[in-house]
Amino acid sequence: MQAWRVPDMSRLAGSGGTVSVHDTAGGAVVAVGPPSGTARMYVCGITPYDATHIGHANTYVAFDLLNRAWRDAGLAVDYVQNVTDVDDPLLERATETGVDWRDLAKDQIELFRADMATLNVLPPDHLVGAVESMDLVTALIERLRGVDGAIYPVDDHDHPDLYFARAADGRFGTLSKLGAEAVEIFADRGGDPDRAGKKDPLDCLVWRLERDGEPSWPSPFGPGRPGWHIECTAIALELLGPEFDVQGGGSDLIFPHHEMCAAEGRVATGREFAQAYVHSGMVALDGEKMSKSKGNLELVSRLRAQGADPMAIRLALLFQHYRDDWSWTPDLLTDAEARLDRWREAVRRDAGVGSAETLAEVRAALRNDLDAPAALAAIDAWAGATLTIDSDDTEAPTLIAAAADALLGVRLQDDDRS
């Protein structure tokens, strides 16, 4: 397995400038990150009960591009990602398989880390599990309890679980902009709109009191475990503070997850949770939505085991714009393998056509809403010219290889050469 490493930008002349991405809340492409200093990004992580599929990889490669673009623009990056290592899907899968939920989570987290490393995805500065964040979660719930009407126990004598009242946030709904359909989506994505005793169908669970056979942790509200949304809110506020630059994830997280996180964060701090909310598209398999329940998943680990070059997998992902919904097919990988071979052949040449224009095009494409397909097209053109035209720029192959690695995350040469 390749070791994770921060990309070397030193060979690529010209940093500075701004990076722009699409903000879901505002519905427009906006500049993100400070003029100088450190950009702060939170990307929601996995629930570790199954292997990493292509849809997961698409999301983490997308935000890896943002990480790299910021670094190329001269910023440091403080990147936080959570792991929901205790939740209903994990506990249910552990029961089904007879594996201790802690062992299942540990194994799947390690597989995820291995998949990301082989895809050359830079690791977050902080990879934080829910289990290690119980004190953060309970402290945030206590803080929210200090806001009139924000937290209440559901009217249930046996299990008076704690809920966050969406009405406490006057801007609830401004991210997703959903209407009546929100209730159905909430139910489909882990919510419980029909729970008896709630004040509003869209109020979300923040603390589930202990049930027989379930793990629990002590709290001022009684032993139990956190709801999903409050976990991310607590981790992000602790490590990044309010108004951090980007909260990211797949578009299926816009509602309810990111809507709930934003509302909880605003009520707790009186400030915006994130400055921009950025979302990658959904990936289907041969035209049908990938689903763990259906079992129609293309797994990164399975492609690797079948001999696929991880850099070809990454190139196949980069061929799609990060915001697009698209479908994985074997032809995408075949085409990516051919592209990778051409690029590698070109950078093995002793000389190539001039690289300055290509580097500028790649950099401009990525800073304009992470337009990876345009960046790929620029290197395609350089590789095609280098393979067909006699040229004498001996530095060009090395510079293009360095750019592909540092900006796109695609390794074309051995580490000692690139």
Mean pLDDT for the stretch of residues 376-401: 96
| pLDDT mean over 200-229 | 97
Domain contains 131: yes
CA pair distance 191, 264, nearest whole angstrom: 16
pLDDT band at 169 (very low <50, low <70, confident <90, very high): very high
Tell me, yes or no, whether 25 lies in a domain.
yes
Residue 195 belongs to a domain: yes
Residue spans of alpha helices (H) in 166-293:
182-188, 228-240, 259-269
Within-domain flag for 83: yes
Give the single-character DSSP code of 53.
B
Q: What is the pLDDT of residue 192?
A: 97
Mean pLDDT for 291-316 is 90
The answer to whether the beta carbons of residues 290 and 283 sit under 8 Å apart is: yes
Residue 278, domain extent: 19-284
Q: For residues 172 and 339, what is the distance between their CA atoms, to the nearest angstrom?
A: 45
Establish if 361 belongs to a structural domain.
no
In this predicted structure, what is the pLDDT of residue 414? 61
Residue 351 within a domain: no
The angle formed by the CA atoms of residues 135, 138 and 143, to the nearest 5 degrees, is: 120
pLDDT digits (tens, 9 = 90+) for 15-25: 678 999 999 99
Run of H or E residues at 301 = helix 300-305
Please state, in angstroms and rounded to a whole number, the distance separating the CA atoms of residues 310 and 300.
Answer: 9
Q: pLDDT-based confidence at 11, cuts 50/70/90?
A: low
Identify the CATH number of the domain in which residue 47 sits: 3.40.50.620
Within 8 A by CB and 6+ apart from 24, the residues are 175, 251, 254, 258, 277, 278, 279
Tell me what pLDDT residue 63 has: 98
Does residue 110 sit in helix, strand or coil?
helix
Percent of the chain with pLDDT over 70: 94
Q: How many CB atoms lie within 10 A of CB 272?
A: 15
Domain assignment present for residue 342? The answer is no
The model's confidence at residue 13, banded by pLDDT at 50, 70 and 90, is low
CB of 115 within 8 A of CB of 52? Answer: yes
The Cα 282–Cα 314 span in angstroms is 16
How far is Cα 58 from Cα 148, in angstroms, rounded to an integer?
Answer: 41
Give pLDDT tens digits for 318-374: 999 999 999 999 999 999 999 999 999 999 999 999 999 999 999 999 999 999 999
Q: Is 235 helix (H, G, I), strand (E, B) or coil?
A: helix
Count of structural domains, the chain? 1
In a domain, 333, yes or no: no
Q: Is the pLDDT of residue 234 over 60?
A: yes
Confidence of residue 140 (pLDDT cuts 50, 70, 90): very high
